[in-house]
Amino acid sequence: MATVGGIYRKDYEWPFLATVIVIGCSTLIYVVLRTLAMNLASSNNTERIDEALILDNDILKYTFRIIYQSNPKDRNVITIPLNKIQEVIYNDDKKSLLFKGTFISDYVENYGPNNSSSKTAEEIDEMLIYDYFKPSLLDTLKEKGIRIEEQGQNQWR
């Protein structure tokens, strides 16, 4: 309380200033947290990077790591024996190949020629690979005699 000419009056400046500061800081924190949440939620956290495709004899090995989810030295290794492929569906719009059959998925730590230790190995029955490799995976599979079903826009996934 403040006195003006001996009369007590309420001091409105400090409560008003404190309220403005609290509301301003709260709004700023809300905006920052919301922006972070929106950026994380809308980013592609399952993007594959460091991809490699090796066709050796009749075995296709596809290695990659998932961005933000694995160490730079670790890789997912998908082993696709060509004789175990039941069906291959090619989507021309997305340039993707959906493999169906019995394949081995393995997560390898410290992937490299000299040191690698397998963490898990499990069977999977589907694998989606985007075909931007040179030479084209689609053409290579056709040369190997693999039957490929081609589909266009909006027919799957």
Residue the block writes with tokens 């985007």: 130
Per-domain residue ranges of the chain: 2-42, 48-151
Work out the number of other CB atoms within 10 angstroms of the CB of residue 62.
Answer: 23
How does pLDDT run across 98-145, given as a tens digit for each residue?
999 999 999 888 787 776 667 678 999 999 999 989 889 999 999 989
How does pLDDT run across 8-58, given as a tens digit for each residue?
667 778 888 999 999 999 999 999 999 888 777 666 667 888 899 999 889
pTM of the model: 0.67
- What pLDDT sits at residue 46? 72
